[in-house]
Amino acid sequence: MKIKTSLKLRQISMATLYSILSIISLSLISIQDFRFRAVSWFLFPLGLLFLLLWGSTSISWIEIIQYQFLNLCFLMVQLSILFMVFKYRGAGLSEVLKKYLGLGDILFFLLLALGLTTEVFLVFYLSSLILSLVLGLVFYKNRTIPLAGIQSVLLSTVIVLQSAGFINIFNINLL
């Protein structure tokens, strides 16, 4: 009985540590994106590492890999359609990356796709894009929107709510 309690306590403390490290890396992403409209590239793999470690305290690595595959498929289809629309409108890839969608935003999309379960990814990705659009229309008229910054603040909020026990993102079933 004591060994089970000790293992459970260790798992909770590791989950807490990984959630704190995830929040720190996401905070750095948001601060840099809001302040400079650019994010140091190493923060994306660092944030992904902490998200994966945090998730691995609740679900197995096999499940994580399955979710990653589905999420990447969805993201690739979505980005392909987006780039085809811009191509049809006469914008090249470099123009899209400079003017409409930054490389940091795409790296953050990858972080989300690789670090979240499919249900959470779909709900979070779509709702955070809608919220970012609304915030962009209200606060960022005629300026670029710090999309990765907004999404990282929202993901930090989700992690805090999960850690505090208000929600359970590892037990969402959309079907």
Q: Which pTM value belongs to this model?
A: 0.87
pLDDT of residue 113: 97
> Residue 175 above 50 pLDDT?
no
Question: How many other C-beta atoms are found inside a 10 Å radius of the C-beta of residue 77?
Answer: 10
pLDDT of residue 100: 81
> What number of residues does the chain have?
175
Give the tens place of pLDDT for each residue, 68-109: 999 999 999 999 999 899 889 888 878 887 778 889 999 999
The CA-CA-CA angle for residues 39, 44, 50, to 5°, reads: 135
How far apart CA 91 and CA 80 sit, in angstroms, is: 14
pLDDT tier at 166 (50, 70, 90 boundaries)?
Answer: confident
Q: Which helix (H) or strand (E) holds 95?
A: helix 93-95
Q: Cβ distance 116 to 51 under 8 Å?
A: yes
Token pair of 165 as six digits:
């026990």
Residue 15 CA, distance from chain mean position:
17
Spatial neighbors of 74 by CB under 8 A, at least 6 apart, are 113, 118, 121, 122
Q: Cβ distance 66 to 39 under 8 Å?
A: no
